[in-house]
Amino acid sequence: MDRRLLEKLKTGEVGFHKIDKKPDTDAAIELRRAAVSELTETEFSHIKNYSFDIEKVTDRNIENMIGAVQVPLGVAGPLRINGDYANGEFYIPLATTEGALVASAHRGCSVISSCGGANARIFDDKMTRAPVFMTKDVIGAKRLVEWVKENFARLKEKAEATTRFGKLLSIYPFVAGRSVFLRFSYDTKDAMGMNMVTIATDAAVDLIISENDAELVALSGNMCTDKKPAAINAITGRGKTVSADVVLNREIIREKLKTTPEKMAEVNYRKNLVGSARAGSLGFNAHAANIAAAIFIACGQDAAHVVEASNAMTLMELTEDGLYCSVTLPSLAVGTVGGGTGIGAQHECLSMLGAAGAGDPPGANSKKLAEIVTAAVLAGEISLIGALAARHLAKAHAELGR
């Protein structure tokens, strides 16, 4: 190890980012790790262990790398799904440190599969980016909005010239005084698409500001809305808008969940609907973020998009012989190419689901993953509501959560 360079890293004379590939990637990682170890007086015996391709990861996924963090990976299933893209039995990879979560999801999968499986359907698919412009006054704002409507075809051509697969679907304006937000929506096929739509929108912005008396304030004006709780995502959607449902048999509920349809319907109404409304929540569900986060981490998704996934609404309605259960995720941002999806372990988890890489036709794999995530969220909702109805939640966490 180059001790002189290590000392320069510790003093800040040389920045962490300055030593990539000097002399090589392995050596740079080791030097940074040694510097942090000595600066923080921490011995690293775990983070230095990893199996992925560091050249690929440091080129695409991480800066100032010093190692890797391992998250325990469990499996739930099989989960029977009757979707347009996900059709069959699936074993769901769940990366989490929360005891009882995988066991709960596994129970929900068993309940759903015993009742014929969950139906899953995608109702919308679009990734958004919304730049904000400033005009002189509201007259200029109206003029800009009208120009965008009249020149949509030109903007579409400009945006799509930056990508092989992305397609501009629409541009919807939102005005606040002389601030004009233009919400661009794209079909991004198998990619989650944030990088794609950012680059494409930036190209379209060049055309807008070249022909209008308007100033670009920011390429993202928070009307997108990316990685933050927002009613616009819950109402109009972002990423995939997906629903899954199943009718649970009364006997299966009694046998596997140790409760009744009536008690589960009451818990869902008082907790997920009334309780969420009283709290002013954007999500009307029990713990959709739990399942979404565990699958996101396992499958190389952007974990921050769990915020949008948590917008889910869970419904439970009594039927003649059981309980109708559904979950709707209006803003599920997932992809099977790009981001962390190509990293070794994450790629293997996507392969477990038959959704690794680009789909045929393009977009099929990301839609398949979206249906799987939504059905898995439904399994988690059913299991937790069942546990609350049977008053088993504390017991389960005492035994498994420790």
Contact 159, 168 (CB under 8 A): yes
98 belongs to the catalytic site: yes
Contact 93, 75 (CB under 8 A): yes
Contact 333, 309 (CB under 8 A): yes
> Alpha helices, DSSP H only, in 41-122?
54-60, 101-114
- ∠311-316-320 over CA atoms, to 5°? 160
Which pLDDT band holds residue 396 (cuts at 50, 70, 90)? low
Query: Is the confidence at residue 394, as pLDDT, over 90?
Result: no
- ∠233-235-238 over CA atoms, to 5°? 35
Choice among 20, 98, 202, 266 that is catalytic: 98
Which pLDDT band holds residue 232 (cuts at 50, 70, 90)? very high
In a 13 Å sphere around the CA of 325, the CA atoms on its Cβ side amount to 37
pLDDT digits (tens, 9 = 90+) for 179-194: 999 999 999 999 999 9
Q: Can you tell me the mean pLDDT for 356-370?
A: 98
pLDDT digits (tens, 9 = 90+) for 39-56: 999 999 999 999 999 999
Which pLDDT band holds residue 397 (cuts at 50, 70, 90)? low
Choice among 302, 308, 371, 381 that is catalytic: 302
Query: Is the confidence at residue 346, as pLDDT, over 70?
Result: yes
Query: Is the confidence at residue 84, as pLDDT, over 90?
Result: yes
DSSP 284: B
Give the pLDDT score at 349: 98
pLDDT digits (tens, 9 = 90+) for 117-145: 999 999 999 999 999 999 999 999 999 99
Give the pLDDT score at 400: 64
17 belongs to the catalytic site: no
Give the pLDDT score at 1: 81
Give the pLDDT score at 20: 84
- Residue 229: what residue type? P
Query: Is the confidence at residue 385, as pLDDT, over 70?
Result: yes
Q: Can you tell me the mean pLDDT for 20-32?
A: 89
Q: Which among 267, 272, 260, 390 has a CA at the least distance from the CA of 322?
A: 260
397 belongs to the catalytic site: yes
Which pLDDT band holds residue 402 (cuts at 50, 70, 90)? low
Query: Is the confidence at residue 209, as pLDDT, over 60?
Result: yes
Retrieve residue 120's tokens: 């899953």
Give the pLDDT score at 401: 58
Q: Can you tell me the mean pLDDT for 305-315?
A: 97
Choice among 124, 157, 347, 397 that is catalytic: 397
Q: Can you tell me the mean pLDDT for 146-151?
A: 98
Q: Which among 295, 290, 326, 324 has a CA at the least distance from the CA of 310?
A: 290
Q: Can you tell me the mean pLDDT for 95-116?
A: 97
State the chain's mean pLDDT as an integer.
96
Q: What percent of the chain has pLDDT over 90?
A: 95
Q: What percent of the chain has pLDDT over 70?
A: 98
All domains in the chain, ordered by first residue: 3-60 (no CATH), 73-120+238-401 (3.90.770.10), 131-218 (3.30.70.420)
Q: Can you tell me the mean pLDDT for 194-206?
A: 97
pLDDT digits (tens, 9 = 90+) for 281-300: 999 999 999 999 999 999 99
Give the pLDDT score at 23: 77
pLDDT digits (tens, 9 = 90+) for 63-83: 999 999 999 999 999 999 999
Query: Is the confidence at residue 164, as pLDDT, over 60?
Result: yes
